[in-house]
Structure 1
Amino acid sequence: METPPHSDSQSKTDSPDETSAFDEVIISHKSWLKSVLGLGALEAKMWVTSSAQLLALMCGVIFLLLTTWLLLISTAAAIAWSYGFSLVGILLSATLMTFVSAAVLLYLVGITLKNMNFTRTLDAIIPTEEE
């Protein structure tokens, strides 16, 4: 009985030059992939650090804007008080102004959330069968 040819017989027929060239290609591709992945990891690290810094700065901006808004309401209340408006009327007006401002901001948040639609990106990457 004859034995079927094994893969060992194939490797014996390959020349050492072909094997070493193939090994060099594998090593160079591994090196290239490692450098690309390292660059991607470095970019991600820089992005996360920048995002954390941006978040901290935005918290500071929000705090200052909130303080400014409250000072504007307080200034308007003090001016109204100096002109003889009732304290209850001033407080109700300030509450109504704050409520309307919050409603406007909530409306803007809703519009922004509607515009944050990733379906265009998904359709570009994975087109639906209707297209």
Structure 2
Amino acid sequence: MEKPQHSDADSDQEKSDFDEVIGTHKSWLKSVLGLGALEAKLWVTSSAQLLALMCGVIFLLLTTWLLIIASSAAIAWSYGFSLVGILLTATLVTFLSSIVLLYLVKQTLKSMDFTRTFDAIIPTEDE
């Protein structure tokens, strides 16, 4: 029995079909990557805008806190409290506030435990 001979036309047709499949996949991958790049660009822009807005909120909250302390100090001074006592009280209130915020930061960091994620990705030898 003779083996059927592939003609050059069949081989060119297969090569053409293969090139077409590769071209289709390349164009699909390019559109998917383009969409991903567009989404990433929108995400980065939105994140920058959110960061700027949060900085504004933090600035306003800090200003409000200082004005509350200044208003309390002015009211206390109008009632005859000593200026040194008012300043020491304001300093103590600010210091205690920073301790409370530091405690909240530590609690937040403690709750950000990534060991479950690491264990899921890279199991320990015990498992």
Equivalences, count = 121
TM-score of the pair, normalised by structure 2? 0.83
| Inter-partner Cα distance in structure 2 for 1:56 and 1:25 | 46
Q: Equivalent residues in 2 for 1:37-116 (5 A)?
A: 37-116=33-112
> Percent identity between the aligned chains?
81
Q: Give unmatched runs, 5+ long, in structure 1.
A: 1-11
Q: Which deviates more, 60-69 or 80-89?
A: 80-89
Q: Equivalent residues in 2 for 1:15-54 (5 A)?
A: 15-54=11-50
Q: Tell me what 1:118 maps to.
A: 114
TM-score of the pair, normalised by structure 1? 0.81
Q: Give unmatched runs, 5+ long, in structure 2.
A: 1-7
| Inter-partner Cα distance in structure 1 for 2:25 and 2:123 | 32
Q: Tell me what 2:4 maps to.
A: none
2:51 maps to amino acid? L
| Inter-partner Cα distance in structure 2 for 1:118 and 1:19 | 50
CA drift at 1:22: 1.6
Secondary structure, aligned partner of 2:18: helix
Q: Tell me what 2:123 maps to.
A: 127
Task: Provide Cα deviations, 1:54-88, integer angstroms capped at 9, x if missing partner.
Answer: 11111111110011000100111111112221111
